[in-house]
C-alpha cells in the first residue's frame, strides 16, 4: 500500500514550487515543468521520496532511536508541534539555537535549568518567594520553554532530523552534517538537495502540504515503534515460557529421583550405628 496518494498530494498543493527566478539548478531533476512563472514539482518523485523517507524513519524507530523535527517558519510551527507530540518525538519550532546539536552538552544544562524552574513552580516554591523573584523566574522559564520545550526529554543526540525547508534551517542542517546525523527534509525548488540524505521534493510553504508530509513522517515513527514494542513483548513472553518450562522440568526431575539409593543409604547408616 502506498504511503500517500497522488490525490492527497494534489489537494495539499505539494506540487507547487517557487518562482522560476528563485530556483536552485540542482533541483532540476525533481521538476516536472513550469506554469505561469512557477515551477511544478514532479509528484512521482515526491511519492518515491516520501516512501523512501517513511521506510527510513520506520526502521530508525524500530531500532529504538528517535527523530528530531525542525520547522521554525510560521507555516510549519503548528504541524511540527502537533505531529511530533502525536509521535512521541522531539521538536524545534520556534528558533534554532546555534549548537543545539554540536554543543548539546551546554543545551542539556539549559534543559535541566528549565526543568528545575518548572519544578519550583509546581511544588509551591514560588509561594515562598517575592513577586519580583517569581517574575524573574517566570521570564526565564518562558524563554527556555519557548526554545527548548520540545527537547525537554531528549537525553542524547537524535538518530535523524526531519526538516521543513532546509534552506531556512541551514544551521540545523550544517550541524547534523558535521555530526553525520541523517537528514530527511521537504525540499522545495529553491533548496540544495545534495545536503539532504532523504529528499522529499515538495512545497515547503503551504500549510496543508507541510501538514500532510509531516503527518506521514509521524506515522512512520509510530508504526516502527509499534513493531518494536511487539517484538519486545514477544521476546519477554518467550523468556517467560522458557522459564516456566525450566521450572516444570526441575519439578519433574525432583519427583522422578530414584528412591532405592536413599533406602540403601539409610540401611548403611543403621548398620554402622549397630
pLDDT at 232: 87
Report which of 200, 161, 165, 195 is spatially closest to residue 181, judged by C-alpha positions: 161
Rounded Cα distance between 39 and 62, Å, is 37
- Rounded to two decimals, the pTM is 0.85
Per-residue burial over 134-173, b if 16 or more Cβ lie within 10 Å, else e, is beebeeebeebeebbbbbeebeebbbbbbbbbbbbbebbb
- Which residues make Cβ contacts (< 8 Å) with residue 46, sequence separation at least 6? 9, 14, 15, 30, 200, 201, 202
* Average pLDDT for runs of 10 along the chain of length 274: 92 97 96 96 98 98 97 98 96 96 96 94 90 93 95 95 98 98 98 98 98 98 95 84 83 71 60 58
pLDDT at 267: 62
Architecture of the domain defined by 1-100+157-274 = 3-Layer(aba) Sandwich (3.40)
pLDDT at 260: 57
Domain borders along the chain are 1-100+157-274, 102-148
pLDDT at 248: 80
| Identical topology for domains 1-100+157-274 and 102-148 | no
CATH 1.10.3470 fits 102-148, yes or no: no
Amino acid at each position: 500500500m502506498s504511503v500517500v496518494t497522488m490525490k492527497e498530494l494534489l489537494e495539499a498543493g505539494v506540487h507547487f514550487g517557487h518562482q522560476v527566478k528563485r530556483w536552485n539548478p540542482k533541483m532540476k531533476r525533481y521538476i516536472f515543468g513550469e506554469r505561469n512563472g512557477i515551477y511544478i514539482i514532479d509528484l512521482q518523485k515526491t511519492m518515491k521520496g516520501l516512501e523512501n523517507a517513511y521506510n527510513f524513519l520506520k526502521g530508525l524507530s524500530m531500532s529504538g532511536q528517535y527523530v528530531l523535527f525542525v520547522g521554525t517558519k510560521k507555516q510549519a510551527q503548528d504541524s511540527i508541534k502537533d505531529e511530533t507530540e502525536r509521535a512521541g518525538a522531539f521538536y524545534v519550532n520556534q528558533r534554532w539555537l546555534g549548537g543545539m546539536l554540536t554543543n548539546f552538552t551546554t543545551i542539556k544544562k539549559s534543559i535541566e535549568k528549565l526543568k528545575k524552574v518548572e519544578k519550583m513552580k509546581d511544588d509551591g516554591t514560588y509561594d515562598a518567594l517575592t513577586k519580583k523573584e517569581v517574575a524573574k523566574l517566570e521570564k526565564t522559564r518562558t524563554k527556555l520553554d519557548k526554545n527548548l520545550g520540545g527537547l525537554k526529554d531528549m537525553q542524547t543526540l537524535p538518530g535523524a532530523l526531519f526538516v521543513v525547508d532546509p534552506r531556512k534551517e541551514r544551521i540545523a542542517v550544517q550541524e547534523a552534517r558535521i555530526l553525520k546525523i541523517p537528514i530527511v527534509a521537504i525540499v522545495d525548488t529553491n533548496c540544495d538537495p545534495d545536503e539532504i540524505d532523504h529528499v522529499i521534493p515538495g512545497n515547503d510553504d503551504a500549510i496543508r502540504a507541510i501538514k500532510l508530509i509531516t503527518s506521514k513522517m509521524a506515522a512512520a515513527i509510530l508504526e516502527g515503534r509499534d513493531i518494536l514494542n511487539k517484538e519486545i513483548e514477544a521476546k519477554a513472553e518467550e523468556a517467560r515460557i522458557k522459564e516456566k518450562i525450566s521450572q516444570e522440568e526441575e519439578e519433574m526431575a525432583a519427583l522422578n529421583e530414584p528412591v532405592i539409593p536413599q533406602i540403601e543409604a539409610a540401611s548403611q547408616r543403621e548398620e554402622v550405628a549397630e
